[in-house]
Amino acid sequence: MAAGSSGGGGQLRSKSEADSGFLGLRPTSVDPALRRRRRGPRNKKRGWRRLAQEPLGLEVDQFLEDVRLQERTSGGLVSEAPDEKLFFVDKGSKDRELNKKRTKGQKRSLLLKKPLRIDLILENTSKIPAPKDILAHQVPNAKKLKRKDQLWEKLVKQGEVPRDVRRAQARLLNPPVAKAKPGPQDTVERPFYDLWAKDNPLERPLAGQDTFFLEQTKKKGVKRPPHLHTKPSQAPAVEVTPAGASYNPSFEDHQNLLWKAHEVELQRQKEAEKLERQLALPPAEQVATQESTFQEMCQGLLEESDEEGELGEGQGKDPEAGADNTGGAKASAMPARLAAVEKKTERQRQREKAARMLRVQQAAVRAARLRHQELFRLRGIKIQVAQRLAELARRREQRRAQRLAEADRPRRLGRLKYQAPDIDVQLSSELSGSLRTLKPEGNILRDRFKSFQRRNMIEPRERAKFKRKYKVKLVEKRAFREIQL
């Protein structure tokens, strides 16, 4: 039993106790007093854990946690708190009587003053004040400012004062005159003026100064080009809709608006039918066949081949006649060439010179006679000039009238033409006598966009077409391919 117990105890003993033997009497053992005690590093986390697990460390942690709890809840140690803070006198039934005597209104006001539970949960219950933020109380350049204040204290003793103090003293000695506030009668009597006119009161002090100097000093704006002040179109920004578009129109106005919408639809249908007729296939009689296509391709070739064949037959039948014809042509060409190359005689040159001089003299005499005759044609010339000026004035007026007529029309600003929007109209069955049951027509954003196009502020546009950059590839998944019905 003893042996078993000793054996079991030997298993539970530590390695150091097993090595030391009984009372350290082994030959290799050392005196426990002289043996050095093993200590781990205390500045490592392993040492902290070892000290915290010891009884003394646990007691210290528990004491410090208790102190921190007392500081959070009561603001200090309970043992150091006075009796007035720890105890109170219970006065009994007075508070209960006061609660019973309160009316419902007083109780409701007390309930309203009571904070919500969520606010109480989120409220900071710790009695420990927040740590002081040192950076928030630091002043930048504090030493420099302190030295500056000390310097000014010395200068004040010597009789010198800072500039801002001197200015404040001067304002006290010579206070500024208070400006009289304009009353309501002055505001009424003040004349109105155009802010954008050239002679407005705001620009009178700048009159007579250099324009470049005023532009560089930002006292005068840069001169705008004159076309910025002209509108691109004289059309109104907001067009008044016709009376037939009202929610409760008269019968005539509504029918007139329906007729206009009907005319627009008819014109659109005619254009679509015209396009279909132009793009339609020809009838069966006019369809091109293989034979007609071949004849059209060989239209000029067959006539040339026939002429060449006739020419060849004629040469084959009478070669001598052909030779005679060619010889005669060569003989007639030779004398003409010799006549052109033959040298002129002196007499011929003199005659040509005299003829040229005579023609020049006749042209001069004719021009002089015409000038002399124009003196008697002054009345007719004046009539022609007046007619020409009247024609030019008529054309100018016509161009001006055309420009005025086209001032309200949209111009061609891009590759697309302006297309008027559809007329917003409701059928007779869709009309409603009240605004509550009225069906909305049109879109205000689309209406403003079309208004910009009509007034030549933006060019007519169309929605961008989506074009795929790659070809769509259809792939059949393996899971779908394996399904067999």
Is residue 468 over pLDDT 90?
Answer: no
pLDDT (0 to 100) of residue 449: 94
Is residue 308 over pLDDT 50?
Answer: yes
Mean pLDDT for 463-468 is 82
Higher pLDDT, 24 or 95: 95
pLDDT (0 to 100) of residue 262: 95
Q: In sequence order, which residues have a C-beta less than 8 Å from that of residue 453 and are 6 or more positions away? A: 410, 418, 459, 460, 461
pLDDT bracket for residue 183 (50, 70, 90):
low
DSSP state of 300: T
Is residue 322 over pLDDT 60?
Answer: no
pTM of whole model > 0.85?
no
Closest CA to 423 of 190, 291, 265: 265
pLDDT tens-digit profile of 133-150? 777 778 888 899 999 999
CB-based contact 426:473 (threshold 8 Å): no
Higher pLDDT, 373 or 34: 373
Closest CA to 450 of 405, 415, 410: 410
pLDDT (0 to 100) of residue 395: 97
pLDDT tens-digit profile of 387-432? 999 999 999 999 999 988 888 889 999 899 999 999 988 888 888 8
pLDDT (0 to 100) of residue 110: 85
CA distance 190 to 20: 116
pLDDT (0 to 100) of residue 140: 85
Instruction: Tell me which long-range contacts 414-422 makes (C-beta under 8 A, separation of at least 24).
Output: 414/459, 414/460, 414/461, 416/459, 416/460, 416/461, 416/462, 417/460, 418/453, 418/454, 418/460, 419/460, 420/450, 420/454, 421/446, 421/447, 421/450, 422/261, 422/264
Higher pLDDT, 51 or 273: 273
